[in-house]
A and B are shown apart, each in its own frame.
Chain A
Amino acid sequence: MSSDQRQAWFARVLESGLENQIFNPTDVLAHATPDVLANHLPPELLSRVLSASLASGSMTPERVLETVTPVLMAQHLPHDVLWACIAAAVARAGINSVVS
């Protein structure tokens, strides 16, 4: 498996989770914390995040995810972090509790 395929999969799972409201941008940023973002996003992305927030006057999780899209997250952030977000959301949906 190439890492491109893995990235594509995590990006798609993140997108689908947001589309299907399994989790929301706030949930994503609860795992992709500012510390994680700051340590893994490239400078240009950090700059875009800050610029977008300055232009709109606020920095919200939604706005961050508009700039740092799921594709970019899957490209730059550790997949463990993304998976933790996904797994936590599924656990909140009650899937885990049913089994355990």
Chain B
Amino acid sequence: MNVKAFFGDALASALELGLGAPDDILRQVTADVLAHDLPRPLWARLLTACLGAPRVDAQLVVETIGVPNLCEHVPPQLIWAVLAEIAARQLGKAAEEIVPLVAAKPASGPVRVPLAPPPPETIAAPAPAAKPPAPAGPSIPAPSDKPLADLISELEAQDPPARGRAPTSQRFRQGNTGIGRPGAAQSRRPQAQASAPIASVVARGSSRRSGTEVSEAETETAVESADWRGKEIAVDDSQLVDWQADTQATDDDFSDLGGRKR
């Protein structure tokens, strides 16, 4: 249900057919209403048009804003009031006779915009709240308000690290860049050939390849297939030997340069 489009059609066709006039619109959609409901860019357009026009009237305002924009931004009750007034004129009746909405309006005037019904209620509500100021305490009356004190104590009791840091870990997930740590890259080398366990991945039913799924598939691959496990061990051993040899070599080198370092 698109009420705004419906109102736009009805209002635009009424203007096109000459059944309604821009004055009918501005009688309901007053300048105050526009000031409250019209977006600033439309106001800028309206002001520009008014400044450049030799005469400012309702037609200029309505044509500049446009019926679709009016129906989009102005409260639908007011657009409906415009339509009801046009229809009432066409049916030869008073607007009150054909639309319960108009009859429900305050009886002050037929075309007054009901902009200020809410304020009396809101004004009446805060009045009782202003009674308690009897305690004329000099300093801050701290936890006299029980619910607030309880809330503060609860907030303080909560441990701050309860907030999850999952996004941080995801932020450092290395999907395909291969710029990770050298050790991790070497441990992943056999997993890079993970074309074999495609069946297990497919069996899981996920066709999308997000970073998380890739990592899970890789770990399963490494665990499940015995062939890979054997190869991994061989590679790890050789790497361990190489690393130690490298560290010794570097120690030797550092011993050579030790005097300079220290």
Given contacts A21-B2, A96-B99, is CB(A13)–CB(B9) below 8 Å? yes
The B1-30 residues at the A interface (CB cut-off 8 A) are 1-3, 5-6, 9-10, 13-14, 17-19
Q: How far is the CA of A54 from the CA of B62 in the complex (A)?
A: 49
Query: Which of B18, B91, B99, B101 lies in contact with A5, CB distance below 8 A?
Result: B18
Across the interface, do A99 and B104 meet the contact criterion of CB distance under 8 Å?
Answer: yes
Answer yes or no: A16 CB below 8 A from chain B CBs: yes
Asked if B164 is at the interface of the complex by the 8 Å CB criterion, the answer is no
| B229: Cβ under 8 A from any A Cβ | no
Given contacts A16-B6, A99-B104, contact A9 B1 (CB under 8 A): no
Shortest CB distance B113–A (Å): 11
B1 contacts which of A80, A93, A100 (Cβ < 8 Å)? A93
Are A13 and B101 in contact, CB atoms less than 8 angstroms apart? no
Q: Which residue on B lies nearest to A91, using beta carbons?
A: B100
Instruction: Tell me, in angstroms, the Cα distance from A12 to B7 when the chains sit together.
Output: 11
Would you call B87 an interface residue if the criterion is a C-beta within 8 Å of the partner chain's C-beta atoms?
yes
Tell me whether B87 and A83 are in contact (CB under 8 A). yes
Nearest-CB residue, chain B, relative to A84: B98
Q: Which residues of A contact B10 (CB under 8 A)?
A: 9, 12-13, 16
Q: Does A90 contact B (CB under 8 A)?
A: yes
A contact face: mostly helix, strand, loop, or mixed = helix
B5 touches A99 (CB 8 A): no
Report which of B6, B9, B90 forms a contact with A6, defined as CB distance below 8 A: B90
Interface range for A: 20 to 34
A1 touches B105 (CB 8 A): no
- Nearest A residue to B77 via CB reads A99
Q: Complex Cα distance A20/B5, Å? A: 7
Is B175 at the interface (CB under 8 A from chain A)? no
Report the Cα distance A19→B7, complex, angstroms. Answer: 12
List which A15-30 residues lie within 8 A (CB) of chain B.
Answer: 15-17, 19-22
Residues of B within 8 A of A91 (CB): 100-101
- Chain A residues contacting B77 (CB-CB under 8 Å) are 95-96, 98-99
B211 within 8 A of A: no
Which residues on B sit within 8 Å (CB–CB) of A19? Answer: 9
Give chain B residues whose Cβ lies under 8 Å from the Cβ of A84.
98
A16/B101 contact (C-beta < 8 A), A21-B1, A22-B1 known: no
Chain B CB within 8 A of A79 CB: yes
| Given A20-B1, A22-B3, A1-B90 contact (CB < 8 Å) | yes
Whole-angstrom CA separation of A93 from B76 in the bound complex = 10
Residue of A nearest to B78 (CB): A99
Q: Nearest CB to that of A83 among chain B residues?
A: B87
| Contacts known (A5-B19, A99-B114, A100-B104); A12 close to B9, Cβ less than 8 A | yes
Are B19 and A1 in contact, CB atoms less than 8 angstroms apart?
A: yes
Given known contacts A1-B18, A87-B99, A96-B99, is B6 in contact with A17 (CB within 8 Å)? Answer: yes
Give 7 CB contacts A-B under 8 Å: A1-B90, A9-B17, A12-B10, A16-B9, A83-B98, A87-B100, A100-B101
Using a CB–CB cutoff of 8 Å, the interface residues on chain A facing chain B are 1, 5-6, 8-9, 12-13, 15-17, 19-22, 79-80, 83-84, 86-87, 90-91, 93, 95-96, 98-100
Given A19-B9, A22-B6, A99-B104, 18 other A-B contacts at CB below 8 A? A1-B18, A1-B19, A1-B90, A5-B19, A9-B10, A9-B17, A9-B19, A16-B6, A20-B2, A20-B5, A20-B9, A22-B2, A79-B91, A83-B87, A87-B99, A90-B80, A96-B101, A99-B77
